[in-house]
Amino acid sequence: MTRKRARRTLVAGLVAAAGLIASVPATGAVPAAAATTLQQVMFVGNNWDGTVDVIQPSGGYTGLGRINVVPDRTQRLWEIYLNPVKLAFYLGVQQGPGEGHDQLVDDMYTTPDGSALVVSRPSFADVVSIDLRTGALRWRFPVSGYRADHMAVSPDGTRVAVSASTSNTVHVLDIATGRQVGSFATGDKPHENVFTGGGRYLWNMSIGEVNTALDDPWLDWTKGDRHITVVDTTTFQTVKVIDMRSRLDAFGRSDLSDAVRPAVFTPDESTLYFQVSFFNGLVEYDVAADRVTRVATLPKNPATSEDRTTWVNDSRHHGLSMSPDGTKVCVAGTMDDYATVVNRATLTPGALVAASKPYWATVSADGRDCVISESGADRVTAISFATGQKVASVAVGDHPQRVRLGRLPAGWTAPR
């Protein structure tokens, strides 16, 4: 081939390639015809075995598949075993909040396109993104300190906040890339996170030290600094700090802990309901007035020991959800082995539905049911908001805790 002919061939190839490149959408763009159809599902995090069950989000709650969210378990364990400091904290998590088990999945949310599941893993002190088609890791973000905890996803689904409980920090990450977009300091042992104002604000509840046996009321001072931190999600600057100690005292309940546990807002975000350590009940807080307005004490189970050191991580009741119309609050009575639907107008409970160490409560996709995780029985149970009665139960993995709604591609099958 002559040089002139070779040049003509090369130029023709480059022109053809340029045409091909021009026809490919920009990175991240998807032609309308190829857009993925998504289905809503419910994810159940099985904390002790490192899996997430995918079930139908309402109706029969049929199982759809199971995802391994610790595909890198061997690598992570070697890193821990070879680092004495990490090993000490790892064993502390295992023997403390893990009740003798690894804590491998605390919380989880899907990306807006339904292609990945983002998971916080307490024992590995990280947040990871799992490809829902292949089961492989997309990204990993090690949190500051030595334990990752509760998360929250922004209303637009693009950001996820995670509590780094041993460093008193909340990290806010880009859910697609795992890149940190902001962080802020909290009280001791940050726990629950809630976005409000359409994503403009982020509330974090710190619960203090819950892993010691110093649980007598007179030893409350050993539990640390517990408060709610509210930040602006643009600047990540604190806009308000709420210490429930003074609010509870003003209401006449100085006997209650000020460690705010699971919390849920009314649909208009004017009222906050929350649980506190050691208490079988819930507290009502008026956001605008900045004061506690009511406290509801719920029934005790006579079989529950009154020895507070036997209650898991200081929580007698742990788990709240609210019906979409704001008229009912579903309560997980963890150590009392029941769940109940509370009438919000009167704060009176309905029937006590027997449950084995219920650890969380969420709302079904159709809004009809409260769905609780029964960590002591390895199942999730749905309770009708309308009747207060159990309507379904489905078996899941070892020690289910967090239950979240999400989306993934229609016709999805679990990775091998």
pTM summary value: 0.90
Please name every residue paired with 282 in a beta bridge, in sequence order, or none if there are none: 296
Question: CA neighbours within 13 Å on the CB side: how many for 316?
Answer: 22
Q: What is the pLDDT of residue 333?
A: 97
Pick the closest to residue 188 from 228, 148, 248 (CA basis).
228
Q: What percent of the chain is predicted at pLDDT more than 90?
A: 86
Residue 58: pLDDT above 50?
A: yes
* Per-residue pLDDT tens digits for 98-126: 889 999 999 999 999 999 999 999 999 99
* Per-residue pLDDT tens digits for 131-142: 999 999 999 999
Question: CA neighbours within 13 Å on the CB side: how many for 164?
Answer: 20
Q: What is the pLDDT of residue 24?
A: 29
Q: Please, which residues have CB within 8 angstroms of residue 415's CB and are 6 or more apart in sequence?
A: 67, 68, 131, 132, 133, 134, 135
Pick the closest to residue 331 from 374, 377, 365, 281 (CA basis).
281
Q: What is the pLDDT of residue 36?
A: 81
Q: What is the pLDDT of residue 35?
A: 66
CA distance 11 to 409: 42
What value does the mean pLDDT take over residues 4-15?
37
Q: How many CB atoms lie within 10 A of CB 309?
A: 11
Q: What is the pLDDT of residue 79?
A: 96
Measured over the CA atoms of residue 93, residue 95, residue 96 and residue 97, the dihedral's sign is: positive
* Per-residue pLDDT tens digits for 293-325: 999 999 999 999 999 999 989 999 999 999 999
- Which H or E run includes 403? strand 400-409
Q: What is the pLDDT of residue 213?
A: 86
Q: What percent of the chain is predicted at pLDDT more than 70?
A: 92
What value does the mean pLDDT take over residues 63-86?
97
Q: What is the pLDDT of residue 30?
A: 35
Q: What is the pLDDT of residue 103?
A: 96
Which domains does the chain possess? 150-409 (2.130.10.10)
What value does the mean pLDDT take over residues 356-369?
98
pLDDT tier at 349, thresholds 50, 70, 90: very high
Pairing of the two strands 353-354 and 348-349: unpaired
Residue 3: pLDDT above 90?
A: no
pLDDT tier at 14, thresholds 50, 70, 90: very low
* Per-residue pLDDT tens digits for 182-240: 999 999 999 999 999 999 999 999 999 988 888 898 988 899 999 999 999 999 999 99
What value does the mean pLDDT take over residues 321-333?
98
Q: What is the pLDDT of residue 10?
A: 34
The average confidence (pLDDT) of the chain is 91
